[in-house]
Every structure is written in C-alpha cells, then in structure tokens.
Amino acid sequence: MADRKVLSGAASPVHVVNQPAASASTGLTDAQLRATPVIMTGAVIATGPLTDDELRDTPVPVTGPLTDTQLRDTAVPVSGPLTDTQLRDSAVPVLNGPVLVAAADSHAPADNTAAIVTYTGIASVSHVISGVAWSYDADPTGGSLTITDNGAVVFVVAITKGGPGVFVFPIPKMADVAHALVITLAAGGGTVQGTVSILNHWLV
C-alpha cells in the first residue's frame, strides 16, 4: 500500500450553491406542481393557504394593455364581495376621448329660480359625470348644490358666496343603471340668479 500524506492546517470552507429546479419536458401532476419551488421576485403576503379554486380565481397582474373584452372580464376591487356574475356585469367607467357637448349640460334660469340639469334614466345604461361648475351673481340666501340618483340624495353642499365655483370628481360619479341623475343649484333668493354646468357627462 502506498504511503498517504495527511496535510495539516485550517479546513477550507465549502460553498454550496442551490441550483434552480430543472424544468420538466412533460406535464406535472398536482402533487409535483405543489412540490416544485417557484422563483419569486418580490414578497408575497398571504394570510393562509389558498385552495386550487381560490388560486384560479385570483387576478394576475399583467404588463401590457388589455382589450375591452379583457377589461370587462377582469375583477375590479370593490368595497364589498361580488359574485362572479356581478363582476362580469359591472361596467368600469372609462373615458377614452372627447365628450360631445350638449345644451342640456347647462342651465341658467331667471332670478331666484333653481338651476337644474336632469339626465333622464335610460334602460340598461348609467349616467356618469366628472364634475359640476356653478355660480350665483351675488351672495345667495339658502344656496346649495345637490345631486340625486333616482330621487336619493348622493351629494349635497351648502353655498354661501356667489362664486363661481367648481366641484371636480377625480373618480367620476355614476348613477345606478336606468336611474335619473339630477343636479340642482338651489334658488339664490331675491334677485340672485344661479347657473349650473356639468363638466363632462357620458353613458356607460
């Protein structure tokens, strides 16, 4: 037997490199998929494990533009849970271009008369507005601006100075489907004249 030499000295550290999992050339079973590590580029926050159905129902962020059909089929975060059918039927207000002007978007009545813009309910669609401009030609008595959806008050503010003024809605306000949307600037009293104009109005 040949002589063996034993070298003394400090041991050299061995660096272990984790190799990424090899890709499969054929389909994987559910068990294999669950056991396969997934390389993530950011932290994932979850409160508990998801079932297969929950994973399939989870929206996936995309990196490119979506078609109108894809947008309509994409779940939109809401303040309460919706069914799949409700999500698919929920229109997303999108303003893709200029809005056609209309005389009905403005009202300037006689002195001490409410200025009112009314959008009559239309079957299967909703009225949307992006803001309201208003003015009194002098400080009003009992001035206010009110918006109603089929008679229900959804926006109201008292106005004590003549203005002019404007309320811009960064997220446009939308009436319910087939509901009338009415914007009212209250009568200013005495010889005060009020005027109201809608910034943009469209249907969805």
CB atoms within 10 A of CB 196: 22
Q: Residue 72 phi/psi, 5° resolution?
A: -65, -30
Q: What is the pLDDT of residue 16?
A: 47
pLDDT of 64 reads: 60
Burial class (CB in 10 A: 0-12, 13-18, 19+), 40: exposed
| pTM of this structure | 0.56
d(C-alpha 31, C-alpha 35), whole Å = 6
Mean pLDDT, the chain, rounded, equals: 80
Please determine, for residue 26, whether its predicted confidence score (pLDDT) is greater than 60: yes
Structure tokens at 100: 């056609």
Q: How far apart are CA 87 and CA 72, in angstroms?
A: 8
CATH class as words, domain 103-203: mainly beta
Residues 6 or more apart whose CB falls under 8 angstroms from that of 81 comprise none
Are the C-beta atoms of 176 and 126 separated by less than 8 Å?
yes
Cβ count within 10 A of residue 152: 10
Q: What mean pLDDT comes out for the span 131-140?
A: 98
CB 70 within 8 Å of CB 171:
no
pLDDT in tens, 83-124: 777 766 665 555 567 888 899 999 999 999 999 999 999 999
pLDDT, tens only, 143-192? 999 999 999 999 999 999 999 999 999 999 999 999 999 999 999 999 99
Comparison of pLDDT for 17 and 68, the residue scoring more: 68
Residue 200 pLDDT grade (very low, low, confident, very high; cuts 50, 70, 90): very high
Using the structure block, give the residue that is written with the tokens 């209309």: 102
Task: Note whether 125 and 89 are within 8 A (CB).
Answer: no
Closest CA to 75 of 56, 91, 88, 93: 88
